[in-house]
Structure 1
């Protein structure tokens, strides 16, 4: 971690990834490259960065950038493209009404972009049909917090994690999904040995490395566990009677909790008792929750079950205490604040409240405002499918991959009368379906603000000029608004101007009794906006407030918090003989969403380079699935082929798959194609962690591994490709073999004339080919009847080099093989780590770091290093 203050030439900005909102110091080199390090002055990360943030500078290449507007795949100019967008939306509204159009936007937008999109759709088009991919992320938290507090208020701060004596992580793989916060927690635990950490998750994740207790409860049973906790709080005398004077609904909520059968959790009575005793006897408790809570058909109830326990004990809004939602996207919070969801208005005002509606309409001088909520994401794409939505604008997101029932969503978009996509690239599953493509600025070019999980507003600043003809999203949407006839309302010339309008509206919202207030930032002007430092809201005209709710003041009509009686409900989809496995989906350490950005970094592709399915050894054995084999995964919605990762991290009957791969990177790895469009009835958030699936071995006739200095064109039934430092690599498989492997290889690599070295063994089905130019390796293909056993990273590193014995697939004796990458930040391989362990140089994670550097930057690989140390210890004991 670099602790130097800002240096000459460095620009202070904010990371483009998760909701931690890390500060970044970026130094452009003037030639399109950027050096990146953590900002030691930013309160979120204090100089730390995770592997993704550390590699931001590697994601700025223009090789796949959309650089000019396109209409029907033909390059055009902005006037033509935006004129068509404005005309088609206007005509559709005239013919079919405002609800025949929709926007689907993104938590990767900046707040100013979000504000303009919300204003255009709700205030001027007159529909609430604008929703966001944050609906897939934190909508259940929004609904739960509004039920309890009257507003969507996150009471916690990152500092609370360091001040707590007990941190409970519910459905949150913090080590991989929010690595910097995980490192802050790990440092706090090291400094306070009395601190305890509990992980509640059906799966044993990397976060469990830090845990004193792991509760592997049944999927979806969180409400039952927290109901048992509430009953234990009452029985153990931990209720704060004084605080309950500010809380409604305690008695009926307690009765519901006492009626709950804890056996549905799958935990033993002793485990439940141990957890409840620890929680009730520790005053300073923070309960962190994330996607495992939210992505559920009972997600809102799970949120309220957690909040109920904090309200009953008064452990909320005080240092080291409270429920704390951590968000998955860089500006999910900013989107919520400006009303980016279909059932909200800007500044936490309520769309369905007539007084709130009139306030916003008058402030905007808007011609029309919808009186009811618009279509939430799943319903929105269903109406695209049925033709009720006839014009659709998708901004900075990839729903053809990321939405549940992704095949249906892809087909719906394809069938829409008129689809516009604004993005940085034309090479996404969604962008390929658009009638009009609009080039948007990306990270490093964007200028505006984002809000992180603990309400801190930070600036993203432009480091370089916009690529090609790309424009900011707020600018694109404002231009369309002016072309549709609302010239004055969208006469913005800078994000600072938009921010000032938004801040002024927040002051009016605060006067209406809302929590969100940044009116103290009104009137910054361009200079003040340019120099704005990270600031946690609220920032009122009277100053800044850090905490909510310790004083018992809430935003409900009564001014009291509300405890909500809840009862556990199992996932909607039931395991049955046809679909006996429960599928959990999520993220991996080094990739982000659908990899539009992270897949451009060779370093980030080295850790886990293809889609996989974690399956328990007992289940794999019963199904005849071999290590590194392929698995066909089917549901009522779709089908995938995934690499088998046999592990006891998952329980028998449960499987896990990451959601990052796309039609661009692994067409049979689009995991959300397996997930049904089941949603929480209150929040509309999909149940993405409890689909039911069937598994079977994929009986491949051959497996292949390929590397190429140029791009490849795989055509096999299974393929997954990723970038490497000097080109590409790919995993391949199919159930039938080509008639001529050399013909197929030349087609794959587009090398019709390059010299080719070949080795064939018909008895074993082995084929090895290397294509060279004056000895330099251009491409290589390795084929066998079982998963190919070669040194993958070694082969990839040989691309463009004079290759010695390329058909061996392994380094020579005088060339050490570092092995598969464990530490993506510093590019340290598994064999390097095992080497310092086996030679006795390192017996702890810290010593491995001292010897190799692994784990010394973001630290998210430390759990894997700990596993390697444990394996070595077990082998030594066995000997």
Structure 2
């Protein structure tokens, strides 16, 4: 009898900045079960739906198997030599600023550290920037202006001990679900805890709110300026703290004098009474947290918004105390780690300043490097402008997809087309950016990597490999070290990530002397065994001073020259892009619950793709009525720089005159749904972070002559044929098939022949024709392999039903008839999926509510929805409110954790 070998590996989730611990059980060295790590301080066993389904995303489809130069496979030796040689030639002819790295918050700290060391200490340029520029750089600049250092002064326990939690510019219910669940639990345990949600959209996060302020987009700085004035007018200032520990209060106070409650209410388009209540709650709460994210940062005045928030906390003394502080929440799993090691173009490593001569000397001496960058490099938007203009002639892109994530996609395409050398390291074989690569380098993905990440509360966690690297994939730090050595540089003879981490930890303490909060001296000198066993730990972690583990700014001493925090005088500014008669609507953008970034991982998961199956544009009913747009219609959004097409979602969750579109879809999944196409290249002048929450658009209905729903078995490779022969297309992955929603300007004359040609499938073809409605299917070797449903109006069909039919070894007569008549089995006619974990759909939930179940936990007891990861609880709450109230019933919505 063979005994199965069971083991457990603890690692960290690959998604947002919460940094959840993950337990992965292995059976005979293969991942068999994934759960939240019960003892990890970030999540205590909780996982959101994306984290829960991580194992769904580690398949090896769409992976590079070996390095490629000009689409020809080569050896690693040849590839690294080529990159080193080409970079060397360009540097020799044009100087170090002619090359650039564009890196990612998906990299581990060890990868980030090597990239930064190579570029700034050996090549001698600061042209290394990161996609964290797009999400966190305004928060970084705000903290540095106020505290002298990029230090988040809060932790997750503060969220559970505050009297007042303000979510501003954050839909945490969908973007940081585990923290949202911790907040929901804290609120149940302390009913006196108040939650205020401030957002132009009524998002799922508002389900927990005691007060919702539907603010005019871009007016957040005025809101907090008004709060500062209110505190001063009502004798709610912490004068001792201001006098002893702060500078420049008088100028900040003078700047807020115009911002009376009435003035703020007019500017922000808020009810005066609601605004007064919010200000009063902040003033009279013993503790308060402002929890902010992309809605604040992604703005042409994002840094000022951050500092307006920080000003209110400094003035009230509501920081560096349990349950208080300005808490910027990170978007990516290692954006914080990247900031620490100098992954941004305007910083050196270890929170040292790039334009400070002493800091330059310190880093150069520590690295014993031949040179050091002495001025900031090109930030992300400037970098691609410089590439387009020929100033930067070679770029190495690592673990990110700028053709989707950066604004003004047409200009990014121009830049990459014009660039002499584009090197891309990634864990996929194809994406929007790889199409422009001269050199493609296969790097490891989540599940294959070894190293560390730092989450939003400054907690360092180990990421551990659970499977071997696919084919010839290498870790990013290994690829970088190989190239560095072939460029003739010393200092890159690392053989494992523990050695890199040790050097990095030593740099944080080198000549620190208490001047920087970032200090990992207690972690210096760890053996590889201790590194491998490292438990989650917050910095600072200072040798021989365990009391200071995780404690920042002790005794209210900040990282400025005089140890005092700085107030910043703020003059609020509206977005630079403005609406007009031609472009009368505002487009906002953001994330959805079950997808991540450009869907490289989550798009592989049939479960994650089933919650929201297609891109959409939210539009207010008033605007939809004026434009003649109905729910689910295809619409085109057009700005001055680009256009997209998606389905309309008519909703009153946003303000009239405003729209919203998710960020995730790209040309791997849709013909024209990359919202980045709509945004111009406009950024905050301090942080360089682009404005991607506000642009002016117009909306137009889009009609086609013919619509088609095509389902193709997974083993059939016809993506290029399907997409190239349609005028509009959308792809959705399921477990057994791929769905294509297609549209044509001119109707296809011979549908059966067209289907046979684009699929290339040999089998038994049959069809059903009724006027303009047609249905075609193909059976091969007894199994369903192809289905097409055609009409002159949009075709909607349950992908779960068709996917189920593809899994059948042979279809019976009833199934064949239901397929030809497009009549799904009853179990697949239950509405949209609400709970991804247990595949609970909308209709049975509504039926239970109408029958008298008016609590989220009771729905879970009946239907299991919301009882695993909890990500769907806010939607369950919304359904209870909507359908119980529709019958005039009394309801008691309870979100439990």
Normalising by the smaller structure, the TM-score range is over 0.9
CA contact (8 A) 2:342 2:351 kept: yes
Q: Which residue of 1 aligns with 2:842?
A: 830
Q: Which residue of 2 aligns with 1:227?
A: 225
CA contact (8 A) 1:316 1:549 kept: no
Q: Which residue of 1 aligns with 2:764?
A: 755
In the alignment, the residues of structure 2 paired with residue 336 and residue 12 of structure 1 have an alpha-carbon distance, to the nearest angstrom, of 25
Shift in Å at residue 370 of structure 1? 1.8
- 1:810 pairs with one of 802, 820, 823: 823
Alignment of 1:167-316 (within 5 A): 167-244=165-242, 245-260=244-259, 261-262=263-264, 263-316=266-319
| Cα deviation digits, residues 492-539 of structure 1 (max 9, x gap) | 111000000010011125326111000110001101100000000000
CA contact (8 A) 2:849 2:884 kept: no
Shift in Å at residue 824 of structure 1? 1.2
| Cα deviation digits, residues 274-317 of structure 1 (max 9, x gap) | 11011111121011000000000000000000000000011111
Q: Which residue of 2 aligns with 1:735?
A: 745
User: 1:816–1:69: structure 2 CA closer, same or farther, 3 Å change rule?
Assistant: closer
* Unmatched tracts of structure 1, length 5 or more: 1-6
CA contact (8 A) 1:32 1:60 kept: no
CA contact (8 A) 1:316 1:550 kept: no
User: 1:271–1:839: structure 2 CA closer, same or farther, 3 Å change rule?
Assistant: closer
- 1:50 pairs with one of 27, 48, 52: 48
In the alignment, the residues of structure 2 paired with residue 581 and residue 470 of structure 1 have an alpha-carbon distance, to the nearest angstrom, of 46
In the alignment, the residues of structure 1 paired with residue 71 and residue 790 of structure 2 have an alpha-carbon distance, to the nearest angstrom, of 37
Q: Which residue of 2 aligns with 1:675?
A: 679
Does 2:450 match 1:443?
no
Shift in Å at residue 856 of structure 1? 1.3
Q: Indicate the SS of the match to 1:414.
A: helix
Q: Which residue of 2 aligns with 1:3?
A: none
- 1:505 pairs with one of 504, 507, 532: 507
Does 2:831 match 1:819?
yes
Q: Which residue of 2 aligns with 1:424?
A: 427
User: 1:358–1:680: structure 2 CA closer, same or farther, 3 Å change rule?
Assistant: same
In the alignment, the residues of structure 2 paired with residue 87 and residue 300 of structure 1 have an alpha-carbon distance, to the nearest angstrom, of 40
Q: 372-381 or 67-76, which moves further after superposition?
A: 67-76
Q: Which residue of 2 aligns with 1:662?
A: 666
Q: Indicate the SS of the match to 2:556.
A: coil
| Cα deviation digits, residues 535-579 of structure 1 (max 9, x gap) | 000001123423324622111112100000001100000100111
- 1:519 pairs with one of 508, 518, 521: 521
Shift in Å at residue 258 of structure 1? 1.6
CA contact (8 A) 1:794 1:810 kept: no
Q: Indicate the SS of the match to 1:307.
A: helix
Shift in Å at residue 831 of structure 1? 2.5
User: 1:550–1:543: structure 2 CA closer, same or farther, 3 Å change rule?
Assistant: closer
In the alignment, the residues of structure 1 paired with residue 414 and residue 298 of structure 2 have an alpha-carbon distance, to the nearest angstrom, of 24
Q: Which residue of 1 aligns with 2:787?
A: 780
Shift in Å at residue 154 of structure 1? 0.4
Scaled by the length of structure 1, what TM-score is found?
A: 0.97
* Unmatched tracts of structure 2, length 5 or more: 890-897
In the alignment, the residues of structure 1 paired with residue 614 and residue 511 of structure 2 have an alpha-carbon distance, to the nearest angstrom, of 47
Q: Which residue of 2 aligns with 1:4?
A: none
Q: Which residue of 1 aligns with 2:798?
A: 791
Aligned length in residues: 867
Shift in Å at residue 650 of structure 1? 1.3
Shift in Å at residue 774 of structure 1? 5.4
In the alignment, the residues of structure 2 paired with residue 290 and residue 379 of structure 1 have an alpha-carbon distance, to the nearest angstrom, of 23
Q: Which residue of 1 aligns with 2:892?
A: none
Shift in Å at residue 31 of structure 1? 7.1
| Cα deviation digits, residues 44-100 of structure 1 (max 9, x gap) | 000000010000001111111112101111111101111100000000000000000
Q: Indicate the SS of the match to 1:684.
A: coil
In the alignment, the residues of structure 1 paired with residue 835 and residue 584 of structure 2 have an alpha-carbon distance, to the nearest angstrom, of 36
Shift in Å at residue 378 of structure 1? 0.2
Does 2:865 match 1:862?
no
In the alignment, the residues of structure 2 paired with residue 69 and residue 829 of structure 1 have an alpha-carbon distance, to the nearest angstrom, of 44
| Cα deviation digits, residues 657-692 of structure 1 (max 9, x gap) | 011111111120011011111100000000000111
Does 2:493 match 1:491?
yes
Shift in Å at residue 34 of structure 1? 4.1
In the alignment, the residues of structure 2 paired with residue 29 and residue 868 of structure 1 have an alpha-carbon distance, to the nearest angstrom, of 40
Q: Which residue of 2 aligns with 1:609?
A: 613
Scaled by the length of structure 2, what TM-score is found?
A: 0.95
Alignment of 1:359-508 (within 5 A): 359-486=362-489, 488-508=490-510
Shift in Å at residue 839 of structure 1? 4.2
| Cα deviation digits, residues 812-869 of structure 1 (max 9, x gap) | 45x56343211112222222323433444x3221111111111112222112112222
Shift in Å at residue 723 of structure 1? 1.1
User: 1:749–1:831: structure 2 CA closer, same or farther, 3 Å change rule?
Assistant: farther
CA contact (8 A) 2:153 2:326 kept: yes
In the alignment, the residues of structure 2 paired with residue 129 and residue 332 of structure 1 have an alpha-carbon distance, to the nearest angstrom, of 18
